[in-house]
Amino acid sequence: MKRVAQVIKVRPEKLAAYRELHRDVPQPVLDRLRRSHIANYSIHLLGDRLFSYFEYHGDDLPADLAAMGGDAVTQAWWALTDPCQEPVDEAAPGEWWTGLEQVFLME
């Protein structure tokens, strides 16, 4: 299992819409996440930053993420959520959600 933590900014004027969207995530989007071997997925908010965490239980994360990105229902979902977000200043060029370095773990 691989732990993945990421960060992105939420546009302050879109925060209410972002929260509303996540009150009822479409079941096909959740199903696609599960088929991509993603579990224990959560998103947290601090100020203007969204922090996500999920556990990956597959063998090829890039391939599973590509399959998710190619899914029409997921693309429609992202068309709703992406306008609410913007990359953090630390993001690499072209990067959307930015990965975080794990500096501590207690199991």
The CATH code of the domain that includes 42 is: 3.30.70.1090
Q: Name the maximum alpha-carbon separation found in the chain.
A: 38
Cβ within 8 Å of residue 38, ≥6 positions away: 54, 55, 56, 57, 64
- Would you say residue 78 lies in a domain? yes
pLDDT at 8: 98
- Would you say residue 51 lies in a domain? yes
pLDDT at 53: 98
In which band, very low, low, confident or very high, does the pLDDT at 85 lie, cut at 50, 70 and 90?
A: very high
- Would you say residue 60 lies in a domain? yes
What pLDDT, in 10s, does the model give residues 22-42?
A: 999 999 999 999 999 999 999
- Would you say residue 16 lies in a domain? yes
Average pLDDT, the chain: 97
- Would you say residue 106 lies in a domain? no
In which band, very low, low, confident or very high, does the pLDDT at 11 lie, cut at 50, 70 and 90?
A: very high
pLDDT at 73: 96
For residue 70, the enclosing domain spans 2-99
Q: What is the pTM of this model?
A: 0.91
- Would you say residue 107 lies in a domain? no
In which band, very low, low, confident or very high, does the pLDDT at 44 lie, cut at 50, 70 and 90?
A: very high
- Would you say residue 94 lies in a domain? yes
pLDDT at 94: 93
Q: Could you give the number of structural domains in the chain?
A: 1
Cβ within 8 Å of residue 51, ≥6 positions away: 5, 6, 7, 43, 44, 45, 100
- Would you say residue 105 lies in a domain? no
**Cα distance between residue 38 and residue 3, in whole Å:** 10
